[in-house]
């Protein structure tokens, strides 16, 4: 079960846009991430590599935790809002719920729930 302080440190890293670092620091070696009902990605190294590819496509990103955060034993629920500006100037605003299962002070499983229509970038204004 994570402490509230550990969860807040994790949130702070994500809000600093240190997404890949947060995965390296707060996920178990065998952690999984799943988006909606897609097959999960497995293994911390795989998760870091995937996140690195996403971050490389972004010109800028703001990450915001919408509080409160819910902690119940080994489970944590966090509402996030991410605003991406992509290299071509298009934008994406993603609002999602993250459902996490922690093992001690590390995340072992995470599922993101969001409307997939949000993934379509809005073209840059001419």
What residues contact 77, with CB distance under 8 A and at least 6 apart?
69, 70, 97, 98, 99, 100
Domains for the chain: give ranges and CATH numbers: 4-115 (3.10.450.50)
| Predicted model pTM | 0.95
- Interval 72-109: pLDDT, tens: 999 999 999 999 999 999 999 999 999 999 999 999 99
Q: In what order do the strands lie in the sheet with 91-103?
A: 41-42, 27-35, 106-113, 91-103, 75-86, 58-72
- Interval 112-125: pLDDT, tens: 999 999 999 999 98
């Amino acid at each position: 079960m994570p402490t509230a302080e550990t969860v807040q440190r994790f949130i702070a890293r994500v809000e600093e846009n240190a997404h890949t670092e947060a995965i390296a620091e707060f996920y178990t070696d065998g952690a999984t991430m799943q988006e909606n009902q897609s097959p999960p990605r497995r293994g911390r190294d795989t998760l870091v590599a995937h996140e690195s590819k996403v971050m490389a496509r972004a010109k800028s990103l703001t990450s915001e935790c919408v509080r409160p955060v819910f902690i119940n034993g080994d489970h944590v629920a966090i509402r996030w809002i991410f605003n991406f500006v992509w290299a071509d100037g298009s934008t994406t605003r993603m609002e999602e719920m993250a459902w996490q299962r922690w093992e001690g002070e590390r995340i072992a499983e995470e599922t993101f729930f969001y409307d997939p229509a949000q993934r379509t970038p809005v073209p840059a204004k001419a």
